């Protein structure tokens, strides 16, 4: 049995993860931590992560908290030789580099996925393949209005994956003028990302490719948080077999 502690256990994702861990025969939910007090899946939620890691000795800490605290949580887990499985978005490239170094130093593998939904991972891989042939592309990501960070980690990773395969490329009109600030979205390696935040959405993304006389759109919709659970459960089972820091669910798929 792989012992799992869930951090952010009283949040929307945290509660769903606790239930998914409990339902899996190879995983055991040994602890739940949050800054709030409460119970989840019959467990009393602890409020001190370091103390909970020391007393419960889990193999894995799943983190679905907030962008502002996730780095500290991951460092606390690594200091206790507990493998972090991180769903919280908003970690900078520099923070990920520090996590990579610390994971190697502590000989404790770590895993981060900006999106745990299988369909979203397939969308990113498909986008990367299509961009070789249709390099003009923009991304629209749409999320619920309680999301704290923009753009979504998925949109940023999609743009970076596309940038890896297409040659440096200037798209749009060279004399284009933004009459309103940011109206053309953010620029990631020359690819525009547009973020929509509205009640009613969960997590959605469109990748739109434009070519001569045609467009091609691929779209992924997470209509419920259960879409992320098979990926989280898989990461909990595989993380201890990895080395250093691994980023992206695609790395765990055969
Ligand atoms: P939420 O606000 O519902 O839950 C966050 C929980 O974390 C809350 O219960 C809060 O009290 C708790 N928390 C805050 N600070 C904490 C700390 N220092 N220690 C412990 N707990 C703390 O948010 P959510 O919708 O569950 O999303 C959480 C994160 O997961 C966000 O960053 C979101 O973007 C990300 N997310 C990632 C994926 C993915 O597939 N990777 C999917 C959905 C959401």
Give the tens place of pLDDT for each residue, 115-174.
999 999 999 999 999 999 999 999 999 999 999 999 999 999 999 999 999 988 889 999
Provide the whole-model pTM: 0.89
Which atom of ligand 1 sits closest to the CA of residue 89?
A: 32
What are the CB-based long-range contacts (under 8 Å, 24+) for 169-178?
Answer: 169/135, 169/136, 171/135, 171/136, 171/137
Name the residue at shortest CA distance from atom 39 of ligand 1: 115
* Residue of 66, 70, 115 with the most ligand 1 atoms within 8 Å of its CB, for mutation: 66
Q: Is the dihedral of CA 180, 142, 233, 77 positive or negative?
A: positive
Q: Is 228 in the pocket of ligand 1 (CB under 6 A)?
A: yes
Which atom of ligand 1 sits closest to the CA of residue 14?
A: 26
Each residue's pLDDT tens digit, 1-53? 999 999 999 999 999 999 999 999 999 999 999 999 999 999 999 999 999 99
Beta strands in 49-127 (DSSP E): 60-63, 83-86, 110-112
Q: Is 11 in the pocket of ligand 1 (CB under 6 A)?
A: yes
Q: Which residues are catalytic?
A: 143, 147
Each residue's pLDDT tens digit, 73-128? 999 999 999 999 999 999 999 999 999 999 999 999 999 999 999 999 999 999 99
Which tokens belong to 215? 């467009």
DSSP SS3 for 73: helix
Q: Is 87 in the pocket of ligand 1 (CB under 6 A)?
A: yes
CATH class of this structure's domain 2-112+226-252: alpha beta
Domain 118-223, CATH number (from 3.30.2130.10, 1.20.1090.10, 2.60.120.590, 3.30.360.10)? 3.30.360.10
Q: Is 7 in the pocket of ligand 1 (CB under 6 A)?
A: yes
Residue 167: its pLDDT value, please? 84
Q: Is 144 in the pocket of ligand 1 (CB under 6 A)?
A: no
* Residue of 6, 11, 157 with the most ligand 1 atoms within 8 Å of its CB, for mutation: 11
Across 181-194, average pLDDT: 96
Spans of all domains in the chain: 2-112+226-252, 118-223
| Residue 60 near residue 5 (C-beta atoms within 8 A) | yes
- Render 54-72 in DSSP notation, one character per residue: HHH--SEEEE-S-TTTHHH
Residue 254: is its pLDDT beyond 80?
no
């Amino acid at each position: 049995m792989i012992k799992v502690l869930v951090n952010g256990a009283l949040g929307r994702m945290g509660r769903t993860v606790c239930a998914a861990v409990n339902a899996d025969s190879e995983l055991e939910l040994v602890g739940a931590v949050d800054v709030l007090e409460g119970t989840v899946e019959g467990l009393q939620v602890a409020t001190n992560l370091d103390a909970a890691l020391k007393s419960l000795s889990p193999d894995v800490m799943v983190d679905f908290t907030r962008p502002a605290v996730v780095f500290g949580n991951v460092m606390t887990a690594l200091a206790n030789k507990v493998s972090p499985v991180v769903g919280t978005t908003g970690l900078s490239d520099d923070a990920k580099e520090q996590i990579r170094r610390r994971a190697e130093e502590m000989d404790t593998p770590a895993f981060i996925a900006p999106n745990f939904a299988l369909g979203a991972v397939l969308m990113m891989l498909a986008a990367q393949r299509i961009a070789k042939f249709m390099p003009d592309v923009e991304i629209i990501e749409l999320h619920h209005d309680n999301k704290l960070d923009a753009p979504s980690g998925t949109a940023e990773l999609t743009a970076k994956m596309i940038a890896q395969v297409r040659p440096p490329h200037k798209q749009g009109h060279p004399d284009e003028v933004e009459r309103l600030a940011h109206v053309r979205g953010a620029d990631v390696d020359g690819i525009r990302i547009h973020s929509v935040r509205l009640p009613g959405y969960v997590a959605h993304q469109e990748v739109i490719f434009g070519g001569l006389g045609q467009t091609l759109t691929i779209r992924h919709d997470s209509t419920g948080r259960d879409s992320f659970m098979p990926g989280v459960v898989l990461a909990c089972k595989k993380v201890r077999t990895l080395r250093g820091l691994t980023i992206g669910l695609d790395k765990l798929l055969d």
